[in-house]
Amino acid sequence: MADKSKGLSKASEIYQNRSHRVKELKAEGKKIIGYPCMYVPLEIITALDLAPYRTYGDIREPVTEADRALPTAFCPIMRTCLDCALKAKDDFLDGMVAIHSCDPQDKTTRIWESYVRYPYFHLIDMPGTLRTESLEYFKGQLNDFKKTLESFAGKELSSDKLKAAIELHNRQRALVRELYKLTKPDSPLISGTEMLQVIKALMSLPAAEGNELLGQVISEVKERTGGPEKKPARLLIWSSTVDDIDIMQLFEAGANVVMDESCGGIRAYRADVKLTDDPLDGLTHYYLEEITCARTFREAVFGEAKKDYMADLDSRFGYLKGFTREWNVNGVILFLVRYCDPFAFEMTDLKEYFNHLGVPSTYIEYDYTQGSLAPLRTRVEAFLETID
Amino acid sequence: MAWFMGIDIGSVYSKGVIINDDELSAYYVTLSGANYRAAAEKIKLELLTQANLTQDDITDVIATGSGASSVYFASQKASDIVCTARGISSIFPSARTIIDVAGQSTKAMRIDGQGLVANFAVTEKCAAGSGRFIEVIANVLRIDLKDFGPLSLQSKNPITFSTGCAVFGESEAVTRVAEGIPKEDIAAGVNKALADKISSLARKIVLEEPCALCGCGALNIGLINSIEHELNIKLLLPPQPQIIAALGAAITARTSSLKR
Amino acid sequence: MYFAGVDIGSTMTKIVLTDTNNKVVSAIKGPTGPEHRQLANEVMKMALEQANLELDEISYVIATGYGRLNVPFADRHITELTCHARGVSSLFPNVRTAIDIGGQDAKCMKINSGKMVDFVMNDKCAAGTGRFLEILAATLGIKLEDLGDISLKSTKKVQISNFCTIFAQQEVVSQLSAGGKVEDIIAGLHDALASRVAGLARRLKIEPDVVLTGGVAKNAGIVKAMKENLGCELLVPEDPLLTGALGAAILAKEHSAKATAKGEPIPTKPRRLEKATFFSKETA
Amino acid sequence: MATEQKKRTINRLNSMHPLRAKVNESYLKSVEAMQAGKPTVWGMLNYYYGDPILKAMDVEVVYPENYGAALAAAGVAQSYLDRADADGFPTHLCGYSRASIGYTSRMMKELNGEIPPEAPLGGMPRPIFLMSSTAVCDARYKWFQALGRYMDAPVWTFEAPLPGVKELFMEGSYERMVDLGVKHARDFVAFVERMLGKKMDWDKLSETVDLMIEISQVWHETNELRKVKPCPMHSRDFWSSMPPALFLMGDLKDSLQCYQDMYAEVKDRVDNHIGAIAEEKYRLFFAELPPWHSLGFFDRLAERGWNFVMESFGYHPPIPLDLSGVSDPLERLTRFSLQIYVGYYKDAFEKNVPAGGMAYPYLKYAREWKCDGGFLHPLISCRSASTHLPYVSNILMESLKVPSLTIEGDIVDLRLFDPEDALSKAEPFEETMEHYRQIRRQEGFDW
């Protein structure tokens, strides 16, 4: 393992210049596959010796190009993603794989595909419910994805190779969970801002390199003195995406962010993929059932004549109870990206659920622009003033 | 000698012109205020005095703009887009694209050799894409509208404006001011933000050169530069960019009377 | 011992000096310009003169509002929400809901025994703020402070689409040219603003007593419209502009008291009234 | 719903009136049914999947989507929107969803399940369960899930798969969609049986499905007749006649008769060269739902010679398939329902329009219905309906040289659509349409 003191600074370097590594790999002849959403099964990309690269938006980038293709009252993340693509900011991608995890992504990536003709493009369809037939259908969709990627990579994907990739990514999930254990102490050993840099770095690197980075970060964090200073509040952030440290620093000005339940945080690492005889079964189950994005329709007692509201909330948000207890959270920020329907419809229920758990929460909306951060500051400060 | 009057009642400014068979004999620009009818009346009198004519000398009057219906003495209404097209092509026959940055909205249009509209797009109902944005921010910065452009040119590093609502942009500007950001950087940021919106509008209709700029936005040198830079073109700038639609209305009046 | 609360809002800057009994010894209001730091120094100077005190007689200073970071001599800054809540509950001990309509934003605070427990805020859309009336008063060519009385003359208010300030402006103009009565239009505008703010307030489940603050609260027409839209009585402080600064001053006393109670030194900053340089770059 | 104009320049179909009458009836019927103790279900427009099943089980279905429109049209939406606000739902959510959430909040929290007295059209009675759908947008199932908080009624979310265009043509892909649909529908039948405590009458289901398919067949052929010049049927008649087929309202045998009468009337106009407007100068298609509150503005456009000959594919019957060989009614139902989207995929795939799912239908309409322009009406608080329109406008211009005019509106904030503003764009857009007629001729298009 490399120099232990380098982990965090390396992560922040990668955060600053995300595409640096994949461009190197491309120069070495490796093919780079972009993906805009954590629902894309990276294991299949990794197993075929391709490098997965998460495409993000950029709150600093005024949307100009995408205005031609998308309305303004629309998921701002997808708008900037398309905008960056149209501005050829990720022209190093050899291919792109998107998934119908939400409507804005589905519609945007279809437009994306027709404007930016990548050598490879695949759209995975995804059911909204957790029924048996939905899982079957989803497995078929994953298998189709595997097939097209195989022919793009020009090789067959053996079940063993896929299993190996699953283990590799499970290792990554385990390491991230281990890293998150280090936010349990009061004060935490690693800040939310550092964590975000690490997570974003992971989504910019091949899995093996990501695991190596995690190893370095974990031992560095465990050994270092002078981690983040103790703040009056320990926050859980619940959001679709938090992908900019300016936002995280704004939260951490008066608090410690100890848990980030977004796809800039633990969401992609909370659970493991089960190793099944047919590895696709494990992947199907994990990606449809285990990932806790609001886009999935979950119901308490499915199809029963009666439905208990609280049981329903538990089945949708139960995992958050664990977070608040184990990480001893005393404040929750429900951080909504404007026009995100799946998350927006959740707000009322979720606020009720946290009341029920006895944890103060606030709902803050932002429009994914740098300009919207200033009003954000006042809200965050005011919220912290109510709980201190 | 026959004279024709064109009157353009916009939501912020009202403009009027008198032309004769071959030249512009009078023009006038004033604030529309609350009473469009009064504005129209005022313009008419002002124009007649300037041109030293009486109402009877005027063969025909055509009104345009959002308040066209308040011009009680006009023989007919015409679309401001069509009038702008006619107006520009009378000044720049070669022009193929027009960007009109008006008080409440911005329009981009393509025209053919005869000044007929070939395609057009109008900003969404949002002041952030119109001259209104600049007025709002000028007010925040407590500077005179006419100084806005020149001031913005002094900027070393313009701020990035999140192209939101003009009023949201206003509070953003207030915050930036509070952070101690120099006025010129904010002004330049606004021009950049507006230029971005305008440029994507122009791209939407597939901009074809030469391209003319008119409307109150054409009085803002900072905005002009930002648009030219963003689209990487040189803009044709008419004298009196605000009266173009009124001019077009007068020309329409002349053409239709020639047809008769 | 004296305490200061400085509230630099988007349109108005206010300062309140209090003594150990939370008695106001001086209060100054003035329009906020772009030069916050300079302004902070000016209002403090004026306040000190009014109370004829020296700066070093002020034990603790809390800054709040938009420009709170730009008060060079502040010992601490606290958001306007907490300060308003504190100020309001000092004036009305039974307050449960406080609504503040500022120049640039509108906020609603849930208060429980003097402490803010929840809040909502609109600073995205002018249609729900004092700016709405400012812009439209200008459109109508009427002084802002006259709006209230004129609107009370209205017999049937016109419906104003509250979609956006800019559109409301166009609507007003067309209403006027359509011969609408000014008082009816203004009444309509007040109703539009009130319904926006009421919608915001409803998110917090309004409980009495309800207090309305902010410059707009001086507008009798708005108070009427707010009562109608909320369907409840409203309390309005004598000077609704000052509650934020007052709250800040009171919190200043509480913070220094807390410190002395713990036997700690009061965590003040070394302060002097600087001749602020125009647009000085450094911020708190 | 429309505020009718005295001056009529659009030559409306007589056969449309009985169809239109059915719409209002069905709300009232549901209320009566409920009062008579008949179970009622709240449904989401789900492109046929669930409706015939409920129909065959003799359940009343009301559609909060339509009811949202009704609330808006009756001008009473605001108080319900405020209520949704007060319950903490973000204001940028779909206007219909916020209206129905507010309605439900009032009904359940204040009137313990009674229909609000002020509710227009008899209101929506309390349901025994809710049937949502993953089709078209996320709001449509998250919305019903959110309604769950008010009513302890279960929510069934119907799966509506929507693969990528080229992805659909991978081996076995389509059949797997059918497999999903059939199994899912079978489970749904079991669910409904459990909820109602009675068994499905499969013959009745089979008959219902066939009627549904037959109706949409006739409806489809009627629209095909609109390709002729002058176009015999205006969009206004299409919209008036849309709900009974789209929502299987009322008795299907009547509906079939109504649509057959409509076909006959339209056919008769074709034979006698009668157009829907006096003088057809321009042929346009209209994208998305119209501004219900100011439909009169189509008469003003008709005066200028604008004929509206086609509408959004989402509200059109699926392109017919031969399903006679399919014995299982649930499979007929599934294949039919999938057609709404994938019916256009094959052409889109061949024409290499990756976003074909949404955009291709408009290309087809513009080409086959010989449109001079598209009138795009993005609905601010209905994003799913608006997302693809800028792209549609681009691709129409790029591949067919057909211009489009975009005028914003909304589904609930009716003030947003300003007819005067729209009409002020008519003159320049006519010049634009003329311009591109020449261009199309130069480039060898046949219209």
Burial of D197 (0-12, 13-18, 19+ CB in 10 A): exposed
Task: Please tell me the distance from the alpha carbon of residue A19 to that of residue B260, in angstroms, as a whole number.
Answer: 68
Q: Answer whether D413 sits within 8 Å of C163, measured CB to CB.
A: yes
Rg (CA), chain B: 19
| Residue D174, domain extent | 16-442
Closest CA–CA distance from residue B165 to any residue of chain C (Å): 8
Q: Which of B78, B119, B124 sits opposite D432 (nearest CB)?
A: B119
CATH code assigned to C94-230: 3.30.420.40
CA angle C192, C195, C196 (to 5 degrees): 85
Closest CA–CA distance from residue C177 to any residue of chain B (Å): 5
Q: Which of B162, B201, B203 sits opposite A371 (nearest CB)?
A: B162
Mean predicted confidence (pLDDT) in D441-447: 94
| Confidence (pLDDT) at B127 | 59
Strands D404-406 and D373-376 turn out to be parallel
Residue labelled with tokens 């060898």: D444
Query: Can you spell out the DSSP letters for B99-164?
Result: EEE-SS-EEEEEE-TTS-EEEEEE--S-GGGSHHHHHHHHHHTT--HHHHHHHHHT-SSPPPPP--
Summary mean pLDDT of chain D: 89
Residue B251 CA: distances (Å) to CA of B57, B247, C191:
16, 6, 45
Identify the band that residue A73 occupies on the pLDDT scale cut at 50, 70 and 90: confident
Phi then psi dihedrals of residue D418, to 5 deg:
-110, 105
Q: Which spans in B179-243 are helix H?
A: 183-204, 221-231
Identify the band that residue D301 occupies on the pLDDT scale cut at 50, 70 and 90: very high
Sketch the domain layout of chain C as residue ranges. 2-83+242-261, 94-230
Instruction: Examine the pLDDT at D251 and tell me if it is beyond 90.
Output: no
Task: Please tell me the distance from the alpha carbon of residue B116 to that of residue B110, in angstroms, as a whole number.
Answer: 9
Residue labelled with tokens 């006739």: D218
- In chain D, residues with a C-beta closer than 8 Å to the C-beta of C198 are 82
Count of alpha carbons within 13 Å of C57, Cβ hemisphere only? 16
How many Å from the N-terminal Cα to the C-terminal Cα in chain B? 16
Q: Answer whether A375 sits within 8 Å of C119, measured CB to CB.
A: no
Are D91 and D413 in contact by the 8 Å Cβ rule? The answer is: no
- In chain B, residues with a C-beta closer than 8 Å to the C-beta of A370 are 160, 162
Q: Answer whether A382 sits within 8 Å of C124, measured CB to CB.
A: no
- Residue of D145, D187, D330, D394 to mutate, testing the A interface (most A Cβ within 10 Å of its Cβ): D145
Q: Kindly state the tokens that stand for B166.
A: 């003009």
Instruction: Examine the pLDDT at C282 and tell me if it is beyond 90.
Output: no
Task: Please tell me the distance from the alpha carbon of residue D96 to that of residue D98, in angstroms, as a whole number.
Answer: 5
Task: Please tell me the distance from the alpha carbon of residue A101 to that of residue A98, in angstroms, as a whole number.
Answer: 9
Do the first three CATH levels of C2-83+242-261 and C94-230 match, i.e. the same topology?
Answer: yes
Rg (CA), chain D: 22
The residues that bridge with D373 in the sheet, in sequence order, are D284
Closest CA–CA distance from residue C203 to any residue of chain D (Å): 4
Q: How many CB pairs under 8 A join B and D?
A: 47
Closest CA–CA distance from residue B224 to any residue of chain A (Å): 17
- Count other Cβ atoms within 10 Å, centred on residue C156: 9
Q: Which of B35, B164, B174 sits opposite C177 (nearest CB)?
A: B35
Query: Can you spell out the DSSP letters for A269-322?
Result: GSS-----SSHHHHHHHIIIII---TTS---SSTT-SS--HHHHHHHHHHHHHH
Looking at per-residue pLDDT, the higher value among B33 and C97 belongs to C97
- Count other Cβ atoms within 10 Å, centred on residue A326: 13
Q: Which of D85, D413, D415 sits opposite C202 (nearest CB)?
A: D85
Mean predicted confidence (pLDDT) in A47-56: 96
Instruction: Examine the pLDDT at C163 and tell me if it is beyond 60.
Output: no
Cis peptide before B150 (omega within 30 of 0): no
Percent helix, strand, coil in chain A (nearest 5)? 50, 10, 35
Q: Answer whether C170 sits within 8 Å of B66, measured CB to CB.
A: yes
- In chain B, residues with a C-beta closer than 8 Å to the C-beta of A77 are none
Task: Please tell me the distance from the alpha carbon of residue D258 to that of residue A152, in angstroms, as a whole number.
Answer: 53
Q: Answer whether D85 sits within 8 Å of C161, measured CB to CB.
A: no
- Residue of B79, B98, B110, B112 to mutate, testing the D interface (most D Cβ within 10 Å of its Cβ): B79
Query: Can you spell out the DSSP letters for D218-274?
Result: HHHHHHHHTTSSS-SS-HHHHHHHHHHHHTT-S-HHHHHHHHHHHHHHHHHHHHTT-
Residue burial D280-306, b: 16+ Cβ < 10 Å; e: rest: bebbbbbbbbbbbbbbbbbbbbbebbb
Q: How many CB pairs under 8 A join A and C?
A: 30
Looking at per-residue pLDDT, the higher value among C174 and A30 belongs to A30
In chain A, the residue whose alpha carbon lies closest to the alpha carbon of B163 is A62
pLDDT, averaged per 10 consecutive residues of chain B (260 residues), comes to 91 89 90 84 93 91 90 91 94 94 86 92 68 74 80 81 58 70 82 84 88 91 91 93 94 88
A347-380 pLDDT, tens digit each: 989 998 999 999 999 989 888 887 778 778 888 9
Cis peptide before A106 (omega within 30 of 0): no
C40-72 pLDDT, tens digit each: 888 888 999 999 998 888 999 999 988 888 888
Which of C215, C193, C202 is closest to C102 using CA atoms?
Answer: C215
Q: Which of D408, D416, D428 sits opposite B82 (nearest CB)?
A: D428
Q: Answer whether A62 sits within 8 Å of B160, measured CB to CB.
A: yes
Residue labelled with tokens 């792209």: D391
Summary mean pLDDT of chain A: 92
Q: Answer whether B168 sits within 8 Å of C282, measured CB to CB.
A: no
Are D259 and D347 in contact by the 8 Å Cβ rule? The answer is: no
User: Cβ neighbours of residue A219 under 8 Å, at least 6 residues apart?
Assistant: A1, A4, A7
Closest CA–CA distance from residue A84 to any residue of chain B (Å): 14
CATH code assigned to B94-237: 3.30.420.40
Q: Kindly state the tokens that stand for C273.
A: 């009234």
Task: Please tell me the distance from the alpha carbon of residue D52 to that of residue D212, in angstroms, as a whole number.
Answer: 8
| Confidence (pLDDT) at C284 | 31
Closest CA–CA distance from residue A77 to any residue of chain D (Å): 14
Task: Please tell me the distance from the alpha carbon of residue D381 to that of residue D358, in angstroms, as a whole number.
Answer: 19
Q: Answer whether B116 sits within 8 Å of D434, measured CB to CB.
A: yes
Burial of D151 (0-12, 13-18, 19+ CB in 10 A): buried
**What structural domains does chain A harbor?**
21-161 (3.40.50.11890), 225-387 (3.40.50.11900)
| Confidence (pLDDT) at C177 | 67
CATH topology of domain B1-92+240-260: Nucleotidyltransferase; domain 5 (3.30.420)
Identify the band that residue C279 occupies on the pLDDT scale cut at 50, 70 and 90: very low
For domain C2-83+242-261, is the CATH number 2.70.98.10? no
Instruction: Examine the pLDDT at C244 and tell me if it is beyond 60.
Output: yes
- In chain A, residues with a C-beta closer than 8 Å to the C-beta of D145 are 297, 299, 345
| Confidence (pLDDT) at B142 | 77
A87-143 pLDDT, tens digit each: 999 999 999 999 999 999 999 999 999 899 899 999 999 999 999 999 999 999 999
User: Cβ neighbours of residue B24 under 8 Å, at least 6 residues apart?
Assistant: B17, B18, B247
Instruction: Examine the pLDDT at C178 and tell me if it is beyond 90.
Output: no
D44-81 pLDDT, tens digit each: 887 778 999 999 998 888 889 888 888 888 888 888 98
- Residue of B66, B83, B107, B122 to mutate, testing the D interface (most D Cβ within 10 Å of its Cβ): B122
Which of D97, D187, D149 is closest to A129 using CA atoms?
Answer: D187
Burial of D203 (0-12, 13-18, 19+ CB in 10 A): exposed
Mean predicted confidence (pLDDT) in D244-272: 92
- ipTM of this predicted structure: 0.83
Percent residues over pLDDT 70 in chain C: 84
D77-117 pLDDT, tens digit each: 888 988 888 888 888 888 889 999 999 999 999 998 888 99
Which of B78, B106, B197 is closest to B98 using CA atoms?
Answer: B106
Looking at per-residue pLDDT, the higher value among B129 and D121 belongs to D121
Q: Answer whether D180 sits within 8 Å of A133, measured CB to CB.
A: yes
User: Cβ neighbours of residue A16 under 8 Å, at least 6 residues apart?
Assistant: none
- In chain C, residues with a C-beta closer than 8 Å to the C-beta of B139 are none
Instruction: Examine the pLDDT at A250 and tell me if it is beyond 50.
Output: yes
| Confidence (pLDDT) at B105 | 79
Q: Answer whether A114 sits within 8 Å of D355, measured CB to CB.
A: yes
Mean predicted confidence (pLDDT) in D149-157: 86
Residue A371 CA: distances (Å) to CA of A246, B161, C34, C148, C186:
11, 7, 18, 34, 32
Which of A376, A352, A51 is closest to A208 using CA atoms?
Answer: A51
Residue labelled with tokens 């709404």: D340
| Confidence (pLDDT) at B162 | 58
Count of alpha carbons within 13 Å of B115, Cβ hemisphere only? 20
Task: Please tell me the distance from the alpha carbon of residue D39 to that of residue D45, in angstroms, as a whole number.
Answer: 19
The answer as to whether D10 is a domain residue is no
Sketch the domain layout of chain B as residue ranges. 1-92+240-260, 94-237
Task: Please tell me the distance from the alpha carbon of residue C221 to that of residue C146, in angstroms, as a whole number.
Answer: 10
Count of alpha carbons within 13 Å of C108, Cβ hemisphere only? 22
Task: Please tell me the distance from the alpha carbon of residue A304 to that of residue D153, in angstroms, as a whole number.
Answer: 9
Which of C221, C223, C212, C227 is closest to C148 using CA atoms?
Answer: C221
Number of folded domains in chain D?
A: 1
- Count other Cβ atoms within 10 Å, centred on residue D98: 26
Looking at per-residue pLDDT, the higher value among B195 and C103 belongs to B195
Lowest mean pLDDT among B148-162, D303-317, D423-437: B148-162
DSSP structural state of residue A372: G
Lowest mean pLDDT among A146-160, B242-256, C186-200, D178-192: C186-200
Tell me the three-class secondary structure of chain C, residue by residue. CEEEEEEECCCEEEEEEEECCCCEEEEEEEECCCCHHHHHHHHHHHHHHHCCCCHHHEEEEEEECCCHHHCCCCCEECCHHHHHHHHHHHHCCCCCEEEEECCCCEEEEEEECCEEEEEEEECCCHHHCHHHHHHHHHHHCCCHHHHHHHHHCCCCCCCCCCCCHHHHHHHHHHHHHCCCCHHHHHHHHHHHHHHHHHHHHHCCCCCCCEEEECHHHHCHHHHHHHHHHHCCCCECCCCCCCHHHHHHHHHHHHHHHHHHHCCCCCCCCCCCCCCCCCCCCCCC
- Strongest mean pLDDT among A5-14, B104-113, C83-92, D83-92: C83-92
Chain A contact for C80 (CB, 8 A cutoff): yes
| Confidence (pLDDT) at A41 | 97
